[in-house]
Amino acid sequence: MKASFLFISLLCFFAAYVECYRGRGYDPLGKLLRTRKSRKSDNHLTEDVLTEYSPVYIASQDGLKEADQITMLPGQPNVNFDQYSGYVTVDPTAGRALFYYFTEAEDSSSKPLVLWLNGGPGCSSIGSGAMTELGPFRVNPDGKTLWYNEYAWNKVANVLFLESPAGVGFSYSNTTSDYITGDKRTATDSYTFLVNWLERFPEYKTRDFYLTGESYAGHYVPQLADLILQNNKITNQTVINLKGIAIGNAYIDYTDRWTGTYDHFWTSALISDETHLGILQNCNFSSEATDTDICEEYQDKAYEEQGDVFTYDIYAPLCGSNSTAPSLSSFDPCSDDYVFAYLNTPEVQKALHANITGVAGPWEDCNGEVHANWQDEPDTVLPVIKKLMASGISVWIYSGDTDNIIPVTTTRYSMAKLGAPVKTPWYPWYSQEEVGGYVVGYENVTFVTIRGAGHFVPSYQPELASIQCYRGAGGQARDPLGEFIKAQKMKRSVNSYHIQDYASADYTPVYIAPQEGSKKLDEIIGLPGQPQVSFSQYSGYVTVDPKAGRALFYWFTEAEDSSNKPLVLWLNGGKSWPGCSSIGSGAMTELGPFRVNPDGKTLWHNKNAWNTVANVLFLESPAGVGFSYSNTTSDYVTGDKRTAEDSYTFLLNWFERFPEYKTRDFYITGESYAGHYVPQLASLILKNNKITNQTVINLKGVAIGNAYIDYEDEMTGMIDFFWTHALMSDEVHEAIFKNCNFSTMAPISGKCEESLDDADSDMGDVFYYDIYAPLCGSNSTAPSLSQFDPCSDDYVFTYLNTPEVQKALHANVTGTPGPWDSCNYFIFNNWNDQPETVLPVIKELMASGISVWIYSGDTDGRVPVTTTKYSMNKLGAPVKTPWYPWYNQGEVGGYVVEYQNVTFVTIRGAGHFVPSYQPERALTFFSSFLEGKLPPRES
């Protein structure tokens, strides 16, 4: 119980900080793994790491504790706990001594003792763990002063940081050959250190003791724990009172490391399909044989394709970049540089009692010589972990889910190999009222994820970014597309007709009414609370069926230099399902020129609005959505076919109202369920142009984002994304693939429904549409990948229901009772026709010669990037321009691959509503689309 309590307490601090960018750009673990691949057959026996008990060197420690006490570190704020640092000799003959830094808790006598080990191998627990992760101080940018970390682990424990082996940080040896070392000596020296340290601090001899660490400490911690338990047993005494271990983003098993890594690369949209397939076909990570040359080539390509992305946290900012894009972490990405400056200050080293031998050259966070000469490491420490599980101590394995070097997929594969039965099923755990991650209790081992955290978990934010389940609904859980898909599943056999039926081969005359004077009447003089702008706006109604009294509402925002810019139509499918407003969503929370302030009365200017590069037309379709209406009630029972036809009729009439745009280059864009709307409307335009033998509408291209295109791909891609992003349990994942067949035309079985419902339950209060989004209404101040206000829908609802606003917009002219709403659930519940796939239509558009772009924000969980990648494969187009990272403001904005007649683009760090979450990257992508150029390879 004590061990569980400690680790649960530390979870609050796991949600504290994960380092965004180790400022000095060193990747020791990656280098070790790549250089070790050729030696796999020599390194696979973990039992060789530990030896039988032999007498341990123990020296007199009298007076050394007092000598090690730190009076005050230079630039340190005042604190109410004691600190100590210094050397403990572990081999007097070789002159080998390890350096430590110890931070007691304020009420130290009632707290356990925790040892922290950074891996590398060859990296410093002082420079990393203590000064940038879980220690009480962080270094200011001046490199001279410190600030207090209120989430330091010495709030709940007495924390001991050890630099091991000799040669790491301030630890040293007088024998040069000692720097050629490995797992075995690291474990034995660490054990010798502890025995001597406890002589120096005898009050901790019987204290509950825990071992913690990350990365290559996935070797160090289990091996040292095993040695402690063995020696306790052999000596028949509790030399060290070990109660538990916790290892984070831990390198545990060679095979799992590589298999999980490449799975994570692909499902996080970091590598191309071709490279992923090449690795799967040519690499055998379970073999004892060395990798083939072709396997090496594909692995090298996988790293090249990612560009300048920090492999230890795929959403981290880069030190020195000029990007203003938000990050999941508030951690300063240049912190390692500040630590380097601080620990190389003579006054600091003197205060720490460090570098007493006056070693030439600067202190470094990682020792390249130790790393390059690492001699022994097993391919797996799973046998050691199983021994620890059987011993009765507490064993916790945790994983930050945005790490790319030891990703959560890697850890999940290792957990499965442990073979322990589930004791406490998977559930979301909470911090500051938001999902902090997930936990599953197995027999004798616990697995925990920390959501939004990279490799260096304790460096991250104090309050972990969580997710609202329905944007603008005060945090109430709602998943519109999920509900829509479920509602349609029972109709699958009825709705599986081909999309070609939507655009008849015969032209049907379209209703066109006189539009004289309507444009002038539609001009917006000024919206209430609007800042001054230099472009014109129009809004109003276009009748598409006078007999039924059916009229669609639009809002048109011209560019400042409107005459030389193309015309772009934006369609919201909904919040990825039919029945939602392009005004309330697209215009006012995504790509429009204005956003609503929290007062619900005034607007602010969106500098990344798409009307900076185009004239943008927002359409609320079908009738019943937003301000659009019909006088015929039955019109609200509708579907894809009428939506396409009415949108086409709207456009022809709108062009009569705005004749200056008739010959203008025209593009259709949209997201989510507009993955149906956009291709269907484009197909109808092209066919009518062909039938009438004239360019009625000058369509040049389409772009659809996080688009619901294909039912099978949507479901399969979503489930894959959930599992690889640690949003569902192994058991539910397995049940879905056992009980569900998304490729058949038959209705979904009851067992499949149950499994899918279990997947929803596993996730907790996570906003499917951006798995790292903040929660509207929570008290969290956690940073987010997005600067978007999660309560924006509430502000829009208030604003668009203001009579003065409706009057200025020429909206609600019929005085419809009840408030304007962003989504119409009657339409949603009565959607009558939708094909299971629109891939045939997209192929049609590709063959037509227009530009076809499909884009995907990579943190969307509802129509995830995996879903879109499956659909891209089904299109079967050959690659024209291979996958590469594109850049915005000095950082990777996403990835692009150009196929023959279709382009696929990802937007890094964006959820389902791309222009809301990453407005600058979205505008860069959109500008490239309009220019007919691929996104930039450089900023």
Active site residues: 672, 860, 912
Are the C-beta atoms of residues 824 and 875 closer than 8 Å to each other? Answer: no
| Number of helices and strands in the chain (H, E) | 27, 26
The DSSP output letter for 754 is H
Instruction: Show Cβ contacts of residue 364 under 8 Å, excluding neighbours closer than 6 positions.
Output: 124, 169, 340
CA distance 233 to 425: 33
Q: What is the DSSP letter of 900?
A: T
- Contact criterion met (CB below 8 Å) for 739 and 719: no
Strand partners, 604: 595
Cα of first residue to Cα of last residue in the chain, in angstroms, is 53
Distances (CA, A) of 136 to 19, 220, 347: 15, 23, 19
Q: What is the CA radius of gyration of the chain?
A: 30
CB 279 within 8 A of CB 851: no
Which residues does residue 138 pair with via DSSP β-bridges, in sequence order? 147
Residue 516, phi then psi, degrees to nearest 5: -55, 130
Give the number of C-alpha atoms closer than 13 A to the C-alpha of residue 630, restricted to the C-beta side: 21
Q: Say how far apart CA 286 and CA 266 lie, in whole Å.
A: 20
Query: Half-sphere exposure of 488 toward its Cβ, with a 13 Å CA cutoff?
Result: 24
Neighbour tally for 900: CB within 10 Å:
11
Q: Which residues contact 838 (CB under 8 A, 6 or more apart)?
A: 499, 675, 676, 679, 680, 709, 710
Sign of CA dihedral 398, 402, 405, 408: positive
In sequence order, the β-bridge partners of residue 907 are 857
Neighbours of 765 (CB within 10 A): 18
Distance between CA atoms of residues 880 and 500, nearest Å: 28
Tell me whether strands 172-173 and 96-103 are parallel, antiparallel or unpaired.
antiparallel
116 contact partners, CB below 8 Å, separation of at least 6: 125, 129, 130, 134, 153, 159, 160, 161, 162, 212, 213
Residues 600, 611 contacting (CB under 8 angstroms): no
Select from 569, 522, 586, 560 the least CA-distant residue to 664.
Answer: 569
Residues 6+ apart with CB under 8 A from 767: 467, 468, 469, 470, 471, 773, 775, 911
Q: Among 887, 854, 894, 893, which residue's Cα sits nearest to residue 870? A: 854
Place of tokens 């070797």: 219
Query: Are the beta carbons of 673 and 481 closer than 8 angstroms?
Result: yes
Q: How many angstroms separate the CA atoms of 572 and 582, rounded?
A: 5
Do 252 and 218 form a contact (C-beta atoms < 8 A)? yes
Could you tell me which residues come within 8 angstroms of residue 77 by beta carbon, excluding any fewer than 6 positions away?
137, 146, 147, 148
Euclidean distance between CA atoms 615 and 564, whole angstroms: 9
- Alpha-carbon distance 533 to 720, whole Å? 45
Task: Give the Cα separation of 638 and 635 in Å (integer).
Answer: 6
Residue type, 73: L
| Count of positions (residues) in the chain | 939
- Residue pair 143/341 in contact by the 8 Å Cβ criterion: yes
**Which tokens sit at 483?**
């509900």
